């Protein structure tokens, strides 16, 4: 039995009030909250063994290095990477995407083609546009339909021998759509293209197996997975990471430096220039431990229950439209009230203690497709409750009454 009340006790922030009301936190797609177990690890790091890693011979440095690298092994096991050195620490998903895009600048030429989907976050659009400008490659887009799903048959027609890269998110941050990445990866590989999957939104809900998926690159952020901000990982197949040139130059990523020539370190350090977010990496490992202790099957089942309940209750409100109605979706509901700007709805909900996200959610092409300025997005996590959804629904009704 999933005991949400016990889980909620692990999250100190859930007991606070906002505008005199109990906090109802439904902005989990932007960032998840942090359990006490992860907070304790952060405090312990700065209290007891704060030191730079890898190069120090003293005890604090060795302790910090050991825990930082142990976290890498935890992350490797979680995503089932073949090697620990295929796990590259980054500052987050955006950093990981830019690292790969920068590397492919040396591999692409005019006439090459890269494919993105219409459901992408800006961070999985803009770096590829920049890559095309640098290399002369062209950008193709997988279209979407009114349900917020990708037109997979049309994707297949875009593929050809000039296709070098395909980029798609596992789950849409704006709509919650779960994309058929297994099929996309398989079809892309048939024409020899590499595939990068943006896993920022999937990693809190699904436990991806990168070897089973046969994906070439997979990127995630810790702060979506009960961890701290400013840290994430790029998974890359060893052969691809060896092909890509370093993204940044500096300390740690070198083997030997002279003024005549520099040689680069082996993986993963080749892509980890400078002092990393040491505490963040260690805490990310603890966050993964925490989520695995709760259990991803249990999380998925409970969040689906929340999604179905919220969908049913919100659709009872006359004039409310949900965007993103795919049968395969996660616990995200993007909606609007007819004739009312989403920002105004979000402002009223905030006064009632309900935290939602409003706007285009860094996915402006999706909003342009639906011809809307943005949506109200309520995104649920495994520590949310049906009672909180009832508060949201009553708040939306109140907003409608006040603003109509």
Residue 280 in this model has a pLDDT that exceeds 90:
yes
Instruction: Tell me: cis bond preceding 268? Omega within 30 of 0 counts.
Output: yes
pLDDT tens-digit map of 258-271: 788 877 788 999 99
In the chain, % helix, strand, coil (3-state, to 5) comes to: 45, 20, 40
Alpha-carbon span 180 to 158, nearest angstrom = 16
**The three-state (H, E, C) secondary structure of 22-81, written as one string:** ECEECECCCCCCCCHHHHHHHHHHHHHCCCCCCCCCCHHHHHHHHHHHHHHHHHHHHHCC
- Confidence grade of residue 1 (pLDDT, cut at 50, 70, 90): low
Least confident of 34-38, 70-74, 243-247, 391-395: 243-247
CATH code for the domain defined by 49-292: 3.40.640.10
- Confidence grade of residue 251 (pLDDT, cut at 50, 70, 90): confident
Highest mean pLDDT, choosing among 121-125, 226-230, 367-371: 226-230
Alpha-carbon span 168 to 150, nearest angstrom = 10
Alpha-carbon span 62 to 52, nearest angstrom = 9
The arithmetic mean of pLDDT across residues 199-223, rounded, is 97
Average confidence score pLDDT of the chain: 95
Instruction: Choose among 292, 289, 285, 401: nearest CA to 345.
Output: 401
The H or E element that residue 344 is part of is helix 342-351
pLDDT value, residue 256 = 78
The H or E element that residue 281 is part of is helix 278-294
pLDDT value, residue 203 = 97
- b/e burial code for range 296-333 (CB count within 10 A of at least 16 → b): beebbebbeebbebbbebbeeeeebbbbbebeebbbbb
Active site residue 226: no
pLDDT tens-digit map of 144-199: 999 999 999 999 999 999 999 999 999 999 999 999 999 999 999 999 999 999 99
pLDDT value, residue 404 = 86
What class has domain 4-28+295-403?
Answer: alpha beta
Domain boundaries, the chain: 4-28+295-403, 49-292
Q: Are 45 and 278 in contact (CB under 8 A)?
A: yes
3-state class (DSSP) for residue 244: coil
- Active-site residue, selected from the candidate residues 132, 226, 279, 362: 362
- Confidence grade of residue 142 (pLDDT, cut at 50, 70, 90): very high
- Confidence grade of residue 359 (pLDDT, cut at 50, 70, 90): confident
Higher pLDDT, 311 or 273: 311
Please report, rounded to a whole number, the percentage of residues in the chain having pLDDT higher than 70.
100
């Amino acid at each position: 039995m999933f005991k949400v009340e016990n889980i909620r006790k692990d999250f100190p922030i859930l007991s606070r009030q906002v505008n005199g009301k109990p906090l109802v936190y439904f902005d989990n797609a932007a960032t998840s909250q942090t359990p006490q177990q992860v907070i304790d690890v952060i405090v312990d790091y700065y209290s007891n063994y704060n030191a730079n890693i890898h190069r120090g011979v003293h005890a604090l440095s060795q302790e910090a290095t050991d825990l930082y690298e142990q976290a890498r092994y935890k992350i490797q096991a979680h995503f089932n990477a073949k090697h620990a050195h295929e796990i590259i620490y980054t500052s987050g998903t955006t950093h990981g995407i830019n690292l790969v895009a920068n590397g492919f600048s040396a591999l692409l030429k005019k006439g090459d083609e890269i494919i993105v989907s219409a459901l992408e976050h800006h961070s999985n659009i803009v770096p590829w546009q920049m890559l095309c400008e640098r290399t002369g490659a062209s950008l193709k887009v997988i279209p979407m339909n009114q349900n917020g799903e990708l037109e997979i048959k049309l994707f297949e027609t875009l593929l050809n021998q000039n296709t070098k890269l395909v980029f798609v998110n596992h789950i849409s941050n704006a709509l919650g759509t779960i994309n058929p990445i297994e099929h996309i990866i398989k079809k892309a590989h048939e024409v020899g293209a590499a595939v990068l999957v943006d896993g920022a939104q999937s990693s809190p809900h699904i436990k991806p197996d990168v070897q089973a998926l046969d994906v070439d690159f997979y990127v995630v952020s810790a702060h979506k997975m009960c961890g701290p901000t400013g840290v994430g990982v790029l998974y890359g197949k060893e052969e691809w990471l060896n092909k890509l040139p370093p993204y940044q130059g500096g300390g740690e990523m070198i083997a030997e430096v002279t003024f005549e020539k520099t040689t680069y370190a082996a993986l993963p350090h080749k892509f980890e220039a400078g002092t990393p977010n040491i505490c963040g990496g260690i805490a990310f490992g603890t966050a993964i431990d925490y989520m695995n202790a709760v259990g991803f099957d249990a999380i998925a089942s409970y969040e689906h229950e929340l999604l179905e309940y919220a969908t049913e209750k919100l659709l009872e409100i006359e004039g409310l439209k949900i965007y993103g109605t795919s049968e395969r979706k996660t616990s995200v509901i993007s909606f609007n009230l007819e004739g009312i700007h989403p920002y105004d709805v979000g402002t009223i909900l905030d006064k009632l203690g309900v935290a939602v996200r409003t706007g285009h959610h860094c996915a402006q092409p999706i909003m342009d497709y639906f011809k809307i300025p943005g949506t109200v997005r309520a995104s649920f996590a495994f520590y949310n409750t049906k009672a909180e959804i009832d508060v949201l629904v009553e708040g939306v009704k109140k907003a409608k009454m006040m603003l109509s």
